[in-house]
Structure formats: C-alpha cells, structure tokens
C-alpha cells in the first residue's frame, strides 16, 4: 500500500481558534478525519505530523525520506515565507511534494506571496481550504500510478 504524509507547520494546531475568518472553524482533528476518509477511498495510508518547531519539521522530512514514503502534502504556515532550512531539508529528500495553503496567500499581505519551497514542489494549491489537501493528495496518488 502506498504511503503519504500530511505535514503541517506552525499554528496549524490552532485551526478553528486562530483567525477563523481566514482559516475557518474546523480544527486540525477535523482536517485529519477528512483526509483519512479520502485516503481510504484512494486505497492509500496516511501519516500526519504537525509541529510549531522548524527543527522538528526538518527531522521529520529526513525520517520520511529514510522510510521511503511515496509523497508529501505540506503546509509550512508562516515558515513557507522564511525558512531556507526547511526548503533545503525538503529538497534533499527527493520526495514528490505538493504545497498547500488553506487561505489564498496571493490575496493577503505581500510578504506571503513569496514561497521559498514553491520551486521544489510539484504544485501549489492556495485558497481552497481543506479541499486543497484533497486535491494535492489526489494528484500525488495519480502521479504515482503513472510511474
């Protein structure tokens, strides 16, 4: 069975509480339940990880690469715009990845328009809420079937 990781960065553990006018009222638990159902329908296994700490995210990518996961859907939150270290860690894994943002980062503050990980991702989905994660997962699963 193919295995995919869903990685969420800083503040995503606060979904439903932090700025619900931007991110909605659903929680990270809701997101994971939603994606588990999608994973089951696609016949794939999902693993979830969230951290507010850059170093933990970096270590997680190394672990996923060493365990030969089939792909990653990630949302680095604010680290998307600032962390060269995360970009380098992810780039060094050679894993197929899709970047996701719940809100439309291009319809927000200008500093959010820059993604340091965009150039290493297969694609970026921004502004579709939780459904963006589903689209990213479906893409990765479909791509692995073609390979």
Domain edges within the chain? 3-146
Q: What is the structure's pLDDT at 146?
A: 67
Catalytic (active site) residue 101: yes
- Annotated catalytic residue within 23, 61, 76, 133: 23
- The predicted pLDDT at position 113 comes to 76
Residues of the chain with pLDDT under 70: 144-147
Q: How far apart are the first and last CA of the chain?
A: 15
The pLDDT, as a whole number, for residue 91 is 94
Provide the 8-state DSSP code for 20: H
pLDDT tens-digit profile of 42-80?
Answer: 999 999 999 999 999 999 999 999 999 999 999 999 999
CATH of the domain spanning 3-146: 3.40.50.9100
Angle at 45 between CA 58 and CA 93, to 5 degrees: 30
Residue from 4, 61, 76, 101 carrying the catalytic annotation = 101
Please say if 25 is a catalytic residue: no
Q: How far is CA 43 from CA 37, 40, 124, in A?
A: 10, 5, 23
């Amino acid at each position: 069975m193919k295995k995919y990781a869903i990685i969420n960065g800083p503040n995503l553990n606060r979904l439903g509480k932090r700025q619900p006018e931007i991110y909605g009222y659903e929680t990270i638990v809701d997101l994971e339940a939603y994606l588990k159902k999608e994973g089951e329908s696609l016949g794939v296994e999902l693993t979830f990880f969230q951290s507010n700490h850059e170093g933990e995210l970096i270590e997680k990518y190394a672990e996923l690469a060493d365990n030969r996961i089939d792909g990653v859907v990630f949302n680095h939150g604010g680290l998307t715009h600032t962390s060269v270290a995360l970009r380098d860690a992810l780039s060094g894994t050679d894993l197929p990845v899709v970047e996701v943002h719940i809100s439309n980062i291009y319809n927000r503050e200008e500093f959010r328009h820059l993604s340091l990980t965009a150039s290493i991702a297969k694609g970026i989905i921004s502004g579709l809420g939780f459904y963006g994660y589903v689209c990213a997962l479906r893409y990765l699963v479909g791509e692995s079937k073609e390979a």
